[in-house]
């Protein structure tokens, strides 16, 4: 197959999975098995595509013209290819995990669940290979629409309330801010096509847009891309935790939030351009907004006793690392931001897999309930520990490298600009990593080193966990605690694989660096 045909195949495969999902709805094993097979094929096709992209061969498909000047078009560059590899690779493991989880919990509407899952992966693939802002915007909105039924999967009052917050914030930001930013960009630059060096850089040089206008435009993008969860546009993410855990894994690792921060990086590199952001001081305010967001989110995470809620706020903080990398606009910070998309995806999906496995095996969902569970579930909590090191940024977790490049980016910006205040961002990164330790490491420590709680022991929960379950774990009905060891193999094997992958990436991060290096050169 030619590279262009491989591109079309990559876009088509998630839709084929959707078709099989409905054709084989009468037989669960056949339905789920074909989904896994198609997911493996998608990853294989993307690896073939990557060989062409990384050899600097142009791969594009013009797609469909919606109206003059606006076309759904696709073209692959290194950052998008990296995102596509992450999404397609993790789709395989997430599907296997979801099958084990959904069957163990005897969830209803599994056909709809896996169908929406396939559409979300299709949206992620379209976003990764978007040639211009218009195509990326359409894929971004499709992601919101396709994941809404997943967030509201249980159909309870809590699920519907969470879904309303999810849709309300994401649609209001994208229509109110992001769509306006796209229209303004088109008016200034006369095009929405991505271009290395930035399509707005030429307009700024020609005097068609002032530095003040650029700052306002960047603000529209930063807060219009609600899926990047920059505070205060973040409430949708904790609200969506009412969804089943496989959906949380999709939200936090495979697709939704990754589309957000991927969008932010694309805007920084291909719309504004690194040199323009760096030289015009346009993004200084965004550096500090991201720095404050990552600190506040980490502090809030420490207060959460509900495990999924704690991980949700952790995600908000980790996404701000990528936004910070984009805003710093130095070669090292861009590499660090792109690398953190990969490292966080692998680490955070492991943590959510572990949270779901704990729930399936014990029906416990609060950190204070996990005393002694490490002896019952050593593989799950061992994987949790490895993934925590990745998120914290400690060896042998792959996140050590992404945070290294981000910290180097803050120093790089301070030295090149001669402005020492950028060192405050270096300090913010270090403090945030210490806070990461404070809210993640106690979980496996409690599980392995504390004695199991006896029946009737009082559990100390935060006040937010005493309220009706509007943003936490799956079911509102009570489940009896169980004590029979690990969750089903279909849940445990994927989380062990992703935990090991987080370690492998520490020793094999060089290939990610090589992929991202070309986009740092205007």
Query: What pLDDT digit, counting tens, does each position of 431-468 carry?
Result: 999 999 999 999 999 999 888 766 545 444 444 444 44
334 Cβ partners below 8 Å, 6+ apart? 265, 268, 269, 274, 325, 326, 409, 516, 519, 520
User: For residues 244 and 249, what is the distance between their CA atoms, to the nearest angstrom?
Assistant: 9
What's the whole-number mean pLDDT along residues 347-363?
92
Residue for token digits 């211009």?
A: 132
- Would the pLDDT of 411 be above 60? yes
Task: Please give the Cα distance from 190 to 469 (Å, whole number).
Answer: 48
C-alpha distances out from residue 242 to 185, 203, 373, Å: 37, 45, 23
- Residue 57 — very low, low, confident or very high, per pLDDT cuts 50/70/90? low
Is the per-residue pLDDT at 488 higher than 80? yes
Percent of the chain with pLDDT strictly greater than 90: 58
pLDDT (tens digit per residue) in 462-479: 444 444 443 344 444 444
Six-digit token pair at 60?
A: 């594009």
Supply the pLDDT for residue 38: 95
pLDDT grade, residue 23 (50/70/90)?
Answer: confident
Alpha-carbon gap, residue 359 to 152, rounded angstroms: 19
Which secondary-structure segment (H or E) carries 245?
Answer: helix 245-249
> Is the pLDDT higher at 419 or at 262?
262
CA–CA gap between residue 33 and residue 489 (Å, rounded): 16
Residue 238 to residue 236: CA distance in whole angstroms: 6
Q: Could you give the angle at which helices 133-151 and 110-128 cross, rounded to 10 degrees?
A: 160
Alpha-carbon distances of 407 from 252, 291, 384, rounded to whole Å: 23, 12, 25
pLDDT digits (tens, 9 = 90+) for 107-131: 777 788 888 889 999 999 999 999 9
**pLDDT (mean) for 247-265:** 85
Q: Which helix (H) or strand (E) holds 72?
A: strand 70-75
Say if residues 381 and 373 touch (Cβ distance below 8 Å): yes
Cα 266 from Cα 275, distance rounded (Å): 14
Residues 6+ apart with CB under 8 A from 363: 479, 480, 481, 482
Is pLDDT larger for residue 472 or for residue 320?
Answer: 320
Question: How confident is residue 1, by pLDDT bands cut at 50, 70 and 90?
Answer: confident
For residue 413, is the peptide bond before it cis, meaning its omega torsion is within 30 degrees of 0?
no
Average pLDDT in the chain: 87
């Amino acid at each position: 197959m030619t590279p262009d045909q491989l591109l079309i195949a990559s876009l088509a495969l998630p839709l084929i999975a959707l078709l099989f999902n409905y054709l084989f709805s009468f037989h669960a094993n056949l339905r789920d098995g074909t989904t896994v097979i198609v997911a493996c094929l998608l990853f294989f096709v993307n690896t073939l595509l990557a060989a062409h992209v990384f050899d600097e061969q142009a791969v594009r498909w013009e797609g469909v013209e919606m109206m003059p000047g606006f076309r759904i078009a696709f073209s692959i560059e290194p950052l998008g290819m990296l995102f596509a590899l992450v999404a397609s690779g993790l789709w395989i493991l997430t599907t296997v995990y979801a099958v084990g989880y959904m069957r163990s919990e005897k969830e209803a509407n599994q056909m709809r669940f896996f169908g929406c899952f396939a559409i979300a992966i299709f949206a992620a693939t379209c976003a990764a290979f978007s040639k211009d802002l218009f195509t990326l915007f359409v894929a971004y909105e499709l992601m919101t629409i396709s994941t809404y039924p997943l967030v509201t999967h249980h159909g309870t009052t809590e699920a519907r309330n969470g879904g309303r917050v999810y849709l309300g914030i994401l649609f209001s930001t994208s229509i109110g801010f992001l769509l306006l930013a796209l229209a303004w960009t088109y008016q200034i630059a006369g095009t929405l096509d991505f271009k290395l060096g930035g399509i707005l850089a030429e307009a700024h040089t020609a005097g068609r847009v002032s530095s003040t206008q650029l700052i306002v435009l960047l603000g529209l993008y930063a807060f219009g891309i609600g899926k990047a969860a920059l505070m205060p546009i973040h409430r949708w993410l904790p609200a969506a935790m009412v969804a089943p855990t496989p959906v949380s894994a999709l939200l936090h690792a495979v697709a939704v939030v990754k589309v957000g921060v991927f969008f932010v990086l694309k805007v920084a590199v291909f719309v504004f351009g690194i040199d323009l952001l760096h030289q015009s001081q346009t993004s200084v305010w965004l550096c500090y907004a991201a720095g404050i967001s990552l600190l506040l989110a980490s502090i809030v995470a420490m207060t959460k006793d509900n495990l999924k809620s704690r991980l949700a706020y952790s995600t908000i903080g980790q996404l701000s690392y990528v936004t910070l990398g984009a805003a710093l606009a130095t070669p090292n910070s861009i590499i660090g931001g792109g690398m953190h998309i990969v490292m966080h995806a692998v680490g955070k999906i492991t943590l959510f897999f572990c949270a779901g496995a704990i729930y399936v095996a014990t029906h416990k969902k609060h950190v204070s309930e996990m005393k002694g569970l490490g002896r019952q579930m050593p593989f799950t909590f061992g994987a949790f520990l490895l993934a925590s090191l990745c998120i914290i940024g400690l060896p042998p977790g792959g996140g050590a490298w992404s945070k290294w490049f981000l910290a180097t980016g803050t120093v790089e910006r301070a030295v090149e600009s001669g402005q020492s205040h950028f060192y405050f961002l270096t300090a913010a990164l270090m403090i945030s990593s210490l806070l990461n330790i404070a809210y993640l490491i106690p979980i496996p420590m409690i599980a392995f080193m504390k004695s199991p709680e006896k029946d009737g022991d009082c559990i100390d929960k935060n006040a937010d966990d005493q309220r009706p379950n509007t943003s936490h774990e799956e079911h509102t009905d009570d489940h009896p605690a169980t004590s029979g060891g690990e969750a089903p193999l279909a849940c445990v094997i994927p989380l062990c694989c992703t935990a090991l992958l987080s370690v492998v990436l520490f020793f094999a991060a060089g290939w990610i660096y090589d992929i991202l290096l070309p986009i740092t050169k205007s």
